[in-house]
């Protein structure tokens, strides 16, 4: 087996020097094959409030310069057990949402050929729909863990069906998510009306609010989510506004009362062994991110998602 090409050695080249690939990993065109790819989608034409997430992928990559190759929380060196590479950004039309969605889906299918797993850096939450379409084309309807302050199962905004607040309603309507294994985590804040919850329940979603995480604790929440997911193919979508604005100020639609970055990372680490097939981290808006707080959190989320996929890859290789 060929030894994976890892990140640039920060003991020899300063972290602030050189290209800013995610975690200083090699580019996809520098490796023969990638088991896991990280790709950006610089797109925010679907936002309903504060824009800026089109600059999220670059911002997250810059923050990821501080990541190191061994993950002690998961006891894995992800870049040693799997070939991980940065595929760069998927270029999409900022003026035509429908065309952008089609481009993202096509790129995701291309990047996941041959069993490669994809972690996507957004970009606004509109991009989750084409990523789920691609995942379902590879694996059938997928279980979904959606970390977000908001439901994102609304119908339209200003008559538009494809926005950052509608992807999971469209995914339900298209039959690409497994309605027996859908969960929102970290939701909170005001809604347009009680019907929002009624519709969401009708689509099959269970809800773990940010208050539930606080009152029940991480371990109980993880146990409930694992039980709901089982061994189904799992897609994880993380809107960074699931975290409290104290932990993620750089986002478009912040809500008070969110979970901490520590709680979010610990929940993710509880999913070791699940059949994770892809993930995204979205809604990082650098113009509002003083001191790169959100970028740092998002880079660690991406790192732990890559680590979970690497563990899964290692287990499959030894099965």
Binding-site positions read: 125, 148, 150, 152, 239, 241
Nearest to 302 by CA among 99, 40, 55: 40
Burial (CB count within 10 angstroms: exposed 0-12, middle 13-18, buried 19+), residue 90: buried
How big is the CA angle at 174 (ends 186 and 118), to the nearest 5 degrees? 60
Could you give the C-alpha distances from 36 to 31, 167, 194, 237, in angstroms and in order?
A: 11, 24, 41, 16
| Nearby residues of 226 by Cβ (< 8 Å), 6 or more positions away | 270, 271, 274
Left if phi > 0, otherwise alpha if psi is -120 to 50, otherwise beta: which for 175? left
Q: Which residues contribute to the annotated binding site for Mn(2+)?
A: 125, 148, 150, 152, 239, 241
Question: What DSSP state is assigned to residue 242?
Answer: G
> Bridge-partner residues for 160, per DSSP?
157
Torsion of CA 59, 52, 293, 209, to 10 degrees: -120
- Spatial separation of the C-alpha atoms in residues 243 and 124, rounded to whole Å: 16
Of 84, 90, 110, the C-alpha closest to 22 is 84
DSSP conformation class of 125: G
Structure tokens of 140? 């059938």
The answer to whether 253 and 242 are in contact (CB under 8 A) is: no
3-state secondary structure 141-203: CEEEEEECCCCCCCCCECCECCCCCCHHHHHHHHCCEEEEEEEEEEECCCCCCHHHHHHHHHH
């Amino acid at each position: 087996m060929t030894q994976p090409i890892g990140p640039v050695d920060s003991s020899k080249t300063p972290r602030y020097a050189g290209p800013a690939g995610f975690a200083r990993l090699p580019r996809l065109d520098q490796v023969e094959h990638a088991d896991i790819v990280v790709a950006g989608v610089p797109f925010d034409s679907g936002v309903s409030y504060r824009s800026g997430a089109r600059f999220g992928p670059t911002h997250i990559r810059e923050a990821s310069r501080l990541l190191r190759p061994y993950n002690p929380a998961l006891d894995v060196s992800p870049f040693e057990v799997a070939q991980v590479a940065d595929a760069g950004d998927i270029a999409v039309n900022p003026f035509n949402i429908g065309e952008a969605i089609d481009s993202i889906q096509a790129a995701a299918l291309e990047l996941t050929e041959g069993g490669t797993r994809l972690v996507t850096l957004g970009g606004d939450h509109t991009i989750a729909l084409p990523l789920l379409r691609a995942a379902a084309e590879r694996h059938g309807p997928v279980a979904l863990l959606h970390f977000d302050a908001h439901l994102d199962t609304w119908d339209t905004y200003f008559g538009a069906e494809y926005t950052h607040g509608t992807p999971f309603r469209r995914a339900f309507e298209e039959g690409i998510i497994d309605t027996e294994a859908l969960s929102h985590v970290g939701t909170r804040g005001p809604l347009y009306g009680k019907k929002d919850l009624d519709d969401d329940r009708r689509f099959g979603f269970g809800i773990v609010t940010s208050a539930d995480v606080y009152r029940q604790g991480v371990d109980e929440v993880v146990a409930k989510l694992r039980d709901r997911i089982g061994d189904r193919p799992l897609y994880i979508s993380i809107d960074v506004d699931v975290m409290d604005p104290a932990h993620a100020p750089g986002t478009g639609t912040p809500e008070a009362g969110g979970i901490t970055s520590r709680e979010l990372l610990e929940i993710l680490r509880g999913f070791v062994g699940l059949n994770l097939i892809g993930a995204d981290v979205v809604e990082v808006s650098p113009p509002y991110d003083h001191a790169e707080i959100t970028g740092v959190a998002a880079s660690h989320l991406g790192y732990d998602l890559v680590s979970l996929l690497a563990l899964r890859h290692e287990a499959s290789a030894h099965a």
